[in-house]
Amino acid sequence: MSGQFVVTGGAGFIGSNLVRALNGRGSRNVIVVDRLDHPGKERNLESLQYERFIDKDEFRRLVAGDGIRGVGTVFHLGACSSTTEMDEEYLLDNNTRYTEELCRWCVNRGARFVYASTAATYGDGSLGYSDDPALIPKLAPLNPYGMSKQRFDLWALDSGIIDRIAGVKYFNVYGPGEDHKGDMRSVVNKAHAQVTRTGELTLFKSYNPDYADGEQVRDFVYVRDAVAVTLFFHDNPGVSGIYNCGSGEARSWLDLGRAVFAAMGKGPRIRFVEMPGAIRARYQYHTQADLSRLRAAGYAARFMSLEEGVSDYIRNHLAER
């Protein structure tokens, strides 16, 4: 599609990597929308080429007043992604209403709208991880963040607008550009820092008898692959709906820890610690993206393995800082 690109959350983690990928395609006509509330976001912008930066609140006002023209595609990645945020009214406005406003604006003007959903909508995983639209109304997220994303997914389905847009349910994304995320950084990022500082890695004990300590599993996806999936929906505007974005493989925290030590050229030293009581009841022991609908839609690229992604991240990014 022709016209300018808008990337909300463009100074953030996936957003800055997406802008970099657009630059790699030769695109400089990018409007970056974000809030520069952390030095890490400013660093993310330093190597990027874009036409204009707009503060998030100002952008929202411009959209309400139809003050932005010539947009071909909006990648709406900006949101509060903290799974521990408990202010439900803030999340409702920032993650749900804002997305609805921007979605309507795009559809009314014929612009492509690609937005970030999340695997957090799957809750405890008891219903599986299929992105079949018929399953979405049955999902029960475990935290207000997941619920704020679920509310928009449901609105898009109920209104029928989902047939004109694309949503991406990101699983556990890791990679360069996440330093500003604090406690929401990936365990790869945290593990590298911890091993550098102490020589060992601590992981949470398991409180589920079906999983041994460290054998809790996640679907880890490298940010490079997450961006490639996101761009697929721009490149294929006829593809609509909500799709999973993960590697399709469930890997354990021990697998991740060993990959970190290997990338750092060290023998593994892993110790298990108590999980904070506040998160035990909301803890996911298993996630694994079902990629059958994404593949059926035409996405054929191979996903990097956990070992490949961790090695690239640590050796080519974290180790150079």
Residues classed as catalytic? 145, 181
- What is the H or E stretch that residue 267 is in? none
Rounded to 10°, the helix 13-24/39-46 angle is: 10
* DSSP one-letter string for 211-237: S-TT--EE-EEEHHHHHHHHHHHHH-T
CB contact set of 23 (below 8 Å; sequence gap of 6+) = 30, 48, 49
8 A C-beta contact, residue 180 and residue 12: yes
Show the 3-state SS of 114-161. EEEEEHHHHCCCCCCCCCCCCCHHHCCCCCHHHHHHHHHHHHHHHHCH
Tell which residue, 90, 160, 123, 170, has the closest CA to residue 282.
Answer: 123
Radius of gyration of the chain (CA): 19
